[in-house]
Structures are given as C-alpha cells and as structure tokens.
Chain A
Amino acid sequence: MERLTLLAFLVTLVGVAAVAIAVSPLVVFLAEYNAGRVGVYVEELGGGYFRVVVEYNITVPLRDFTLKVKALRGGEAFYEASTGDPSLEAGETLALIIDANAIAEADTVVVEAAGSIAALYPFNFTVVVPAEELVGVYQP
C-alpha cells in the first residue's frame, strides 16, 4: 500500500513538473512581450522605399519566424512580400524592404509577424493599417 501511495505521489509530481516545464517559456514570453521588448515599426528609407522592422529582445526564441507585408485594395491583396528567420533570438532584428511604388495603389497594408514560442506555441501578431499611415511604430 505504501508503494502505491509513493507511486501516486510520483505520478502527481511528474504531471505537475511536465505542466510547469511546458508553461515556463510561455510565462516568460508573455511577461517580456508585455514589457514592450518587441518593437515593430515601419520607416521611410528614401528613394521610394519603406523598411518594415522587427526588433526582438525577448529571452525566449521564436522559431520559424516569418515577416510578411501585404498590400490590399478593396479588401483584395495585390502585393505580398516576406522574409523569415528559422530562430529569432533576443537582440536580433529582422527587416523587410518594400518598394513604395509597388504598394502605391493600396488602401490598406497588413504587416504580419508570426513564429512559434519555444517551438511549442504558435504566435501571430498582425497590424492592419491604412496605407497613408503606414510609417510609424506598432505596439498594441
């Protein structure tokens, strides 16, 4: 009977440990994300180009990270550009250069950043902005 009680205790311990291990990168990510350690902004480069930038300063890496920009007119996408990083680590910056002429006809621009937190939790951050207000800093 004592062995069964010990086994029950060990099973409970393993369960709690597994959930704690699974949760910990998520908790760290959300805490640092809320502290503003991810910067997403669009700047005008001159020469008719925009640059969409993601500055990542969160301790937990984002796996299979992609940065995508879509230009929409009347709800229909007519232009798309993207770049990616297999593992976006703390201190890294990813940028995408956009030709202003290519998106000149757009009424809306969608910037989408997506990745997987610690390869476990798919995370997606999308900004939908009127084309004439594209240049700026985007943090919810």
Chain B
Amino acid sequence: MTDARGFLRRLASSLAAGVLKAVAYYVLVVYVSPLVSVYLYRAVAAQPVAVEPPLPRGALLAAGLLFIGLTVAASALRDTIAAPLLRATAAILAFIFVFLVLWGGVVEAEVEQAGVRFIVSLDLSALIAVYFVFTTVPGIILPIVWFYLEKAAEGTGH
C-alpha cells in the first residue's frame, strides 16, 4: 500500500513538473516563436511588411502538443529507458523546429519601393550550427548517459 501510494505521489509530481514544462514549451512554440521569426524577417527587410511565419499555425500547435506529450511521458517514465529516449527525441524535434522557425537558415526579404527592388538575405547557418552543437547534441547524449550512470549508482548503493 505504501509502495503504491509512493508510486502515485511520484507519478503525480512527475506529471505536474512535466505539464509545467510542457506549458512553457507551448507558449514558446505557439506564441513566442512566430513573433521571433516575423521580427527577424522584418528586421532583414528593414521595414514593417506583412509576413506569415514560416510554419502555419496548425503545425505550431501540433509541435506544441508533441513537446507536451514527450515531456509529460518522459517525466512519468523517468525510471525507465524510455525517459532518456523520449528526451533525446524532444531534443531532435526542438532542433528541427528551430531550423524551420529560422526560415531554414536563410532569411530572405524582397521589397519594392517606387520601382526599385530591394533584395536582402541573411544566412543563419552559424547560429543553427551553434544551437545544434551546444544544445541538441548534449540533449540527445546526456539523458542516456545519465540514465545509465544513475542506474550504476543505484546498483552500488550510492
């Protein structure tokens, strides 16, 4: 009985933490990222232009729900191998998402004023590479490494 209660308590706190993180991801994905991508486009064009974000709202919503699902599942299954694999999957999906929000790495704006055409482009590959190396790669490798280190530590009684 005590074990079952303890398990339920752990599950509830995992789910609560997972839902909080997931809500943060949702706000980031559905609200903040379109603002960032549109601002980037307008900054390159150097004027307010009507811009649609690179991802449609439906895709943003799907991405948000997917992050919610992965985060909640990883928190709930944290004592199993599924948890680090789910976190690694979330890291890969986050990278794909960032890549798409940054217009695939190249922001290009074309504006016409009084018969003169301005074409401005900005290559963000370096930023995407930094994000991949310093955030995505650790996000994929470290949860798996730590899972096995934790298991080893439990096995030796530390």
Contacts and interface: CB of A to CB of B under 8 A. Distances in A.
Contact of A127 (B40, B43, B44, B116): B116
A33 B111 CA distance: 16
Nearest to B146: A4
B24 interface: no
Nearest to A114: B121
B51 interface: no
Contacts of B109: 140
B120 interface: yes
A126 B118 contact: yes
A63 to B, nearest CB: 12
A8 B122 CA distance: 33
Given A4-B150, A128-B117, A140-B111, A30 B127 contact: no
B146 A140 contact: no
Interface stretch (A54-62, A68-76, A115-123): A115-123
Interface in A121-140: 121-130, 133, 136, 138-140
B2 interface: no
Most interface-central of B47, B115, B122 (chain A CB within 10 A): B122
Given A4-B150, A33-B46, A34-B43, A140 B134 contact: no
A128 B131 contact: no
Nearest to B138: A11
Interface string B138-154: 10001000100110010
B119 interface: yes
Contact of B134 (A19, A26, A34, A139): A19
A45 interface: no
Nearest to B120: A125
Contacts of B118: 125-128, 138, 140
Given A1-B153, A30-B44, A33-B46, A121 B115 contact: no
A77 interface: no
B45 A140 contact: yes
B131 A19 contact: yes
A15 interface: yes
Nearest to B124: A121
Interface of B: 40, 43-47, 109, 111, 113, 115-124, 126-127, 130-131, 133-135, 138, 142, 146, 149-150, 153, 158
